[in-house]
Every structure is written in C-alpha cells, then in structure tokens.
Amino acid sequence: MCPPEHFSVTYSINPWMDPGKPVDLSLALTQWEHLRDHYRALGHTVEELTPQPDLPDMVFAANGATVVDGRVLGARFAYPERTGEAAAHQDWYRAHGFTDIGEPQHVNEGEGDFTVTASWLLAGRGFRSSPLAHGEAQEFFGRPVIGLDLVDPHYYHLDTALCVLDDTRDDAVMYFPEAFSPGSRAVLARLFPDAVLATRADAEAFGMNAVSDGHHVLLPQAAHGLFEPLRARGYEPLSVDLSELLKGGGSVKCCTAELRG
Ligand code: ARG
C-alpha cells in the first residue's frame, strides 16, 4: 500500500475524477490508515511504498504490478500522468528480494486489470490494458488468461467491475454484469454460475473494488446491497469508508497490491 500523502485530483483520466472538486487530504490519510490498520488487525502483513510528490495517483498501488506465485509482472501505464509509478514499484520489488521481475512490452495496469483465481488469470481490456498484454501475462505466469471486455468508462479497470472472493477456488467471484460486453457476460455466466451479481447502485459505490482474504471481504460501506448476499455465502463483509479516494476513481482494491506467493 502507498499512503496518500501527495494524493490530489489535478487531472482527469476516468469519469470519477473532477479536478474542480476539492480533496480533503487529511481525511484521505485517515481513511487510508484505517484500511491499512484493518488489514493488520486481521493478521495480514502490510508493506508500505514511499509516495512521490509528482505522482498523485500513487495511492492506487494495485496498478503498479501483478504478483502471482512470487513472480512479478511490471506495469506499463496507459496515461503519461502515471508512467513514473511503474519504476517505483519495480524498485520496491527488487529491494525486497523478488528476483523474477518481467518488464512489460504492452500497456497493463497491474491488478487494475488482472485478477487471479485458483487456476486462471482474469484480464480486463477496453479502456486501459492492451489486449496484447493478456498474451504477455499468460506467457509470463503460465496460467490461462480469460480476457473480458469492459464497455462502460465508469468501470474502466476490471477491479471496478469484478472481485475474486476466494482465490483457492475457480468459482467464487462477484461482478457487475453491465460493465461487460454481451460476450463477456456470457463467459462470466458460464464460468461463475453462482456469482454474487451487483446492482448498479452497489457498483457505483465501488462495491466491486473489494479485497477478500477468502473469508473477510473489505468493501466500501456504501455498497449495502452486497452485505447480505456475501453473508449468505459464508463470507464476513467488513465495511470501510474511502470516500476521499473515490474522488480519484478508486477504493479498497485500488489501494491494495496483493503479494501472492
Ligand atoms: N485515478 C486512477 C486512474 O484513473 C485510479 C486508479 C484506480 N485503481 C484501480 N485499481 N482501479 O488510473
């Protein structure tokens, strides 16, 4: 995770970002610390990346790389405003003992568009990550990639539209169907017949931008509609308020890069 010390909305690269709307930096920090402390209270280790003053979106640490089985595929950002973040992440991995680090040739925004089930890598495309990055990730990780087409600019990253609830299984996800093309919706229905389906209201509250450890699901408190369906499937939903970070178009998952393996 990367503390939002330099978070601001000075440019707009997704429909949620309005540079005219002021950001309360101290509230953003408090909300972020609350999320970090929540992970620690659940027994998870949280590493912190040093934020840089000229990279206001760096708080969205999920976009900086993808780590599966201890292998790190670096990111390559779609917009010049965020390009500098990729090197900061790679430096962190090198300094922390990760040796298998892949340099991407094609645009991929890390876990913004890549997520992992027990056997597969689910991969979003349409707004940020290049379809060519999907092939690159499959080659790098040696896992089958399932490409999913995003069609609504409000759900510009896969992690704003879909969340894996248990990565030891291949059938435990929640998603917002309308964020996907008809073909991708059919793929999702075929692969995940028991998925939790989100309403527009819950997706708008960034309910899909959740992090699950297989039991606890941390998600924005405004995504009320998801709590009961999650409980009914045996998960324990825990609500977090990241309203300030929503002004940048991100929430729980965007702030969290997962170190798998
Ligand atoms: N302002 C950032 C952008 O548009 C937000 C990134 C959110 N991160 C995420 N994993 N969806 O790139």
What ligand 1 atom has the least distance to the C-alpha of 112? 10
What ligand 1 atom has the least distance to the C-alpha of 14? 4
Q: Whose CA is nearest to atom 9 of ligand 1?
A: 254
User: Other C-beta atoms within 10 Å of 54: how many?
Assistant: 8
pLDDT digits (tens, 9 = 90+) for 52-88: 999 999 999 999 999 999 999 999 999 999 999 999 9
pLDDT at 113: 98
Fold (topology level) of 25-246: L-arginine/glycine Amidinotransferase; Chain A (3.75.10)
pLDDT at 261: 86
pLDDT digits (tens, 9 = 90+) for 230-251: 999 999 999 999 999 999 999 9
Q: Which residues line ligand 1 (CB under 6 A)?
A: 13-14, 17, 57, 60, 62-63, 82, 112, 157, 159-160, 248-250, 253-254
Measured CA to CA, the distance from residue 36 to residue 254 in angstroms comes to: 13
DSSP state of 39: H
* 67, β-bridge pairs: 72
pLDDT digits (tens, 9 = 90+) for 132-150: 999 999 999 999 999 999 9
Measured CA to CA, the distance from residue 145 to residue 136 in angstroms comes to: 10
* Distance from the alpha carbon of residue 49 to the mean position of ligand 1, in angstroms: 17
Q: Cβ-count burial of 236 within 10 angstroms (0-12 exposed, 13-18 middle, 19+ buried)?
A: middle
pLDDT digits (tens, 9 = 90+) for 219-230: 999 999 999 999
pLDDT digits (tens, 9 = 90+) for 163-205: 999 999 999 999 999 999 999 999 999 999 999 999 999 999 9
* Distance from the alpha carbon of residue 254 to the mean position of ligand 1, in angstroms: 6
DSSP state of 69: T
C-alpha triplet 148, 14, 201: angle, nearest 5° = 70
Q: What is the pTM of this model?
A: 0.97
DSSP state of 78: S
pLDDT digits (tens, 9 = 90+) for 8-20: 999 999 999 999 9
Question: CB of 247 within 8 A of CB of 16?
Answer: yes
The interface predicted TM-score (ipTM) is 0.96
Whole-number percent of the chain with pLDDT over 70: 100
Query: Residue 204: what residue type?
Result: E
Residues 6+ apart with CB under 8 A from 232: none
Question: CB of 165 within 8 A of CB of 213?
Answer: no
What ligand 1 atom has the least distance to the C-alpha of 111? 10
Measured CA to CA, the distance from residue 94 to residue 40 in angstroms comes to: 24
pLDDT digits (tens, 9 = 90+) for 207-222: 999 999 999 999 999 9
